Amino acid sequence: MTLEIKDVDAYYGSVQVLEGVDFSAAQGELLGIIGPNGSGKTTLLRAIARILKPRTGAILLDGKQVMQMKDKEFSRQFAAVPQDTTIHFDFSALDVVLMGRNPHLGRLELESEKDIDIARRCMELTNCWHLAERPVTELSGGERQLVIIARALTQEPKVLLLDEPTSHLDINYQIEIMELLKHLTVHEGLIIIAVIHDLNLAAQYCDRLALLRSGKIVSIGSEYEVLTAENIKNAFGADVIVKRHAVTNQCYVSPIPSSVKQQTEAAGKNSDITIHLICGGGAGASLMYLLSENGYNVTAGVVNMLDTDCEVAQLLNIPVVTEAPFSPITEDAFNAHVKQIEKADVVVLCNIPVGFGNLKNIEAAEVALEQKGKKLMIVETDPIEKRDFTGGDATKRVISLKDKGAVVVTKPEKVVGVVSTA
């Protein structure tokens, strides 16, 4: 089964809110809709749910025009969970869930044992059966959300539409609901389209993402294709760092406050001191901010492209020597690195892990120490022995740097104090 949205335009009166929206979702897929406020996310769900009729284009479920379905047929295929799930009447949770059986009942027909069994199964699936006799007005936001999802599932739909299902919920309910949606696609075969504000939750659980801006889909695909710093900057106007989580290997997005960005852009313009960071693996990121904010010119290297330090350097317009992802430092990169070091007044060897692939960064520190008038600092938050993956070679060379006069600090922020008093 496939849901197809074909070149849909939608309007509120004379105002166009969706333009040329075109995508499909397959059975068993969780598609996350992301984008800034006012980008058309909720409107897209409203169009699919037939609340708003598209002016042009078509919405098809397995090749059948959704707009031409009879109401009961549509309600057996589609179910929706709205943004506002407030209920003002003292119905029990079970009564609310049983409302989902209406598309399957005849006029004046009451629910049968089969309908109650279906409702119970859905409430057990959403972990809210224990709330069956509780008035829905007494439930917490998270509990009520589970009940409303159970009501939607009781319709036995093929497509489930959710508008911000985790908004205003505690993290435990956010995770429970996203785990539930993933279960429904994998084990129940539903097509789920969900508007999600939390980009990290969307990356964690969605099979694909569609990024909306000004009523248009500007990017659709995997989390790696959609959640890029450039896409987020273009859509939200926010500066972010996008990395892969060390445990899940999935994207996570970290914002960079605009105030810090503005300060760092303004601060380095009048500096007559250049500080070079030998970094990698995120070990230099905080120092880049700190030094730039304090008015120093900053350079960095050698870091692999896609590394956190590389992305931060690019965001802050810091010159950086790069190497291909997951590649050892080549002779060309090393030579470019040395040229950067020659122009610096102070060189800082950050708290980096050292393997055979980046051992040339230690060699670069040795070159810096040999240059007349050059100050070498070593940030040693963790002992080098714990970061040495070269069989002891890196440890010996770092100890030698200390013996020859390198200044050691235990925290990155102490670098500024040492430089300012030099």
Q: Which domains does the chain have, with CATH numbers?
A: 2-255 (3.40.50.300), 258-420 (3.40.50.720)
According to DSSP, the β-strands at 216-221 and 64-65 are: unpaired
List C-alpha distances in Å: 386 to 66, 101, 104, 237, 244. Answer: 61, 61, 65, 40, 23
Q: What does the alpha-carbon distance between residue 137 and residue 86 come to, in Å, rounded to a whole number?
A: 8
In contact, 227 and 242? CB cutoff 8 Å? yes
Q: What is the per-residue pLDDT for 306? A: 78
Please say if the pLDDT value at position 267 is more than 60: no
Q: Mean pLDDT for the chain?
A: 90
Please say if the pLDDT value at position 300 is more than 70: yes
Residues facing residue 16 across a β-bridge: 11
Give burial (CB, 10 Å; 0-12/13-18/19+) of 4. Answer: middle
Please say if the pLDDT value at position 339 is more than 90: yes
In contact, 147 and 93? CB cutoff 8 Å? yes
DSSP 159-184: EEEEESTTTT--HHHHHHHHHHHHHH
pLDDT in tens, 176-224: 999 999 999 999 999 999 999 999 999 999 999 999 999 999 999 999 9
- Which helix (H) or strand (E) element contains residue 191? strand 191-195
Please say if the pLDDT value at position 270 is more than 50: no
Q: What is the per-residue pLDDT for 258? A: 58
pLDDT in tens, 147-178: 999 999 999 999 999 999 988 888 888 999 99
Q: What is the per-residue pLDDT for 79? A: 96
List C-alpha distances in Å: 162 to 45, 130, 236, 257, 284. Answer: 8, 23, 22, 30, 41
The length of the chain in residues reads 422
pLDDT, average across residues 133-137? 94
Please say if the pLDDT value at position 263 is more than 80: no
- Which helix (H) or strand (E) element contains residue 193? strand 191-195
Q: What is the per-residue pLDDT for 271? A: 58
Please say if the pLDDT value at position 111 is more than 50: yes
Q: What does the alpha-carbon distance between residue 296 and residue 272 come to, in Å, rounded to a whole number?
A: 7
Q: What does the alpha-carbon distance between residue 235 and residue 211 come to, in Å, rounded to a whole number?
A: 8
- Higher-confidence position of 60 and 229: 60
List C-alpha distances in Å: 183 to 92, 157, 178. Answer: 26, 15, 9
- Fill in the DSSP letter of residue 298: E
pLDDT in tens, 43-67: 999 999 999 999 999 999 999 999 9
Opening angle at CA 333, ends 329 and 336, nearest 5: 145
In terms of Cα–Cα distance, which of 226, 255, 218, 224 is closest to 239?
255
Which range is least confidently modeled, 12-21, 126-135, 293-302, 387-396? 293-302
Please say if the pLDDT value at position 264 is more than 70: no
Band (pLDDT 50/70/90 cuts) for residue 262 is: low
Q: What does the alpha-carbon distance between residue 182 and residue 192 come to, in Å, rounded to a whole number?
A: 9
Which range is least confidently modeled, 21-35, 142-156, 286-300? 286-300
In contact, 249 and 264? CB cutoff 8 Å? no
Q: What does the alpha-carbon distance between residue 307 and residue 320 come to, in Å, rounded to a whole number?
A: 12
Q: What is the per-residue pLDDT for 268? A: 45
- Which helix (H) or strand (E) element contains residue 56? strand 56-61
Band (pLDDT 50/70/90 cuts) for residue 8 is: very high
Percent of the chain with pLDDT over 90: 71
- Higher-confidence position of 301 and 78: 78
Looking at 155-278, list the stretches that DSSP marks H as alpha helix, in order from N- to C-terminal side: 171-188, 199-205, 223-226, 229-236, 258-267
Please say if the pLDDT value at position 319 is more than 70: yes
List C-alpha distances in Å: 254 to 199, 218, 235, 236, 290. Answer: 10, 21, 15, 13, 17
Which range is least confidently modeled, 262-271, 288-297, 321-330? 262-271
Percent of the chain with pLDDT over 70: 95
